[in-house]
Amino acid sequence: MTRTLVTGSAGRLGRSVVSALAAAGHEVIGIDRAPGTPAEAAATLPADLTDLGEAFEVMTRFRPDAVVHLAAIAVPFSRSDAVTFKVNSQLAFNVCESAVRCGVERVAVASSPTVIGYGTPGWTPSYLPIDEEHPLAPWNAYGVSKQVAEEVVRSFARTAQTRLAVFRPCYVVAPEEWEGAPTQQGHTMAERLDRPELAGVSLFNYIDARDAADFVITLLRRLPDIPNGEVFFAGAADALTREPLSEVLPKVVPSTAGLADTVGATVFSCDKAERMLGWRAARSWRTELAS
């Protein structure tokens, strides 16, 4: 049995990842200072992984075969910029450092599409749809901290025996949010569809948390077969909009007007994940949203 340690195990994505890993036969260790890790976890610990010594203690205590790093301040501007940058950057380094030095075989680290830089006044993409080769231009502490996390992974991947990868999950929708529970912004998913300016902030990207969990399982399984330090987008196969994306995108993000006709079904391409991992999201707002 594979022992997999999940940081941020009580979070909106972490809960689905824990449940999916357990269902797939993993012995799951949940690490989160907040309560709420699913009961499927074999063990939980409220460790502070911003402390490097505590991160090493966690790794040596549980000796996981794999680590999924999700823990972070998850919402831009929910804390001061200084705190967001310090916490997220330190978490990524401490988890990778302790995992690699303790001989963990596989590590998957969550980043974010925000590293691309959308939301900056006047931001214009270099091309659409956006893939993993698109230039990075984060403009706030949250986005910068995620770019740092990606660089941390790449730095370890250059020399470590551990197999590492980064994934950029799109706007994560927990299962209960399809039923009307409020999102982390306070509105509902139905409101996000009815008011394009809400979903337009993140370029209409999204992913069901269960699809993101399936992505994590697939990534962990395929890590030995792909180059070390790869980066992947993980998102739904369509956009979170009732209108055609090519029409609504320039209304919300005027700077994309000259490129919108090339966008296709989504702003963020997941072709790399399908090509290299054989993964494609199974769920859509059309199938999951409560009527």
CA atoms within 13 A on the CB side of 48: 4
Cβ atoms of 260 and 200 closer than 8 Å: no
Q: Domain tally for the chain?
A: 1
Compute the distance between CA of residue 64 and CA of residue 201 in angstroms, rounded to an integer. Answer: 37
Q: Which two tokens stand for residue 269?
A: 């391409």
pTM of the shown model: 0.97
Compute the distance between CA of residue 163 and CA of residue 96 in angstroms, rounded to an integer. Answer: 11
pLDDT of residue 105: 98
Cβ atoms of 134 and 140 closer than 8 Å: no
pLDDT of residue 139: 95
277 is in which domain, residue-wise?
A: 3-288
- Give the rounded distance of the alpha carbon of 7 from its chain centre: 12
pLDDT of residue 121: 84
Low-confidence ranges of the chain (pLDDT < 70): 291
Q: In what order do the strands lie in the sheet with 27-31?
A: 43-45, 27-31, 3-7, 66-69, 106-110, 163-169, 230-234
Report the first-to-last Cα separation within the chain, whole angstroms.
40
The H or E element that residue 207 is part of is strand 207-208
Compute the distance between CA of residue 8 and CA of residue 284 in angstroms, rounded to an integer. Answer: 25
The H or E element that residue 156 is part of is helix 141-157
Task: Identify the CATH number of the domain in which residue 232 sits.
Answer: 3.40.50.720
Rounded to the nearest 5°, which phi and psi values hold at 135?
-60, 145
pLDDT of residue 291: 66
Q: Which two tokens stand for residue 267?
A: 């702003």
pLDDT of residue 12: 92
Compute the distance between CA of residue 199 and CA of residue 191 in angstroms, rounded to an integer. Answer: 9
Task: Give, in order, the Cα–Cα distances in Å from 204 to each of 17, 46, 152, 245.
Answer: 23, 34, 28, 8
- Residue appearing with tokens 């030995």: 224
pLDDT of residue 260: 87
Compute the distance between CA of residue 5 and CA of residue 26 in angstroms, rounded to an integer. Answer: 10
Rounded to the nearest 5°, which phi and psi values hold at 8?
70, 35
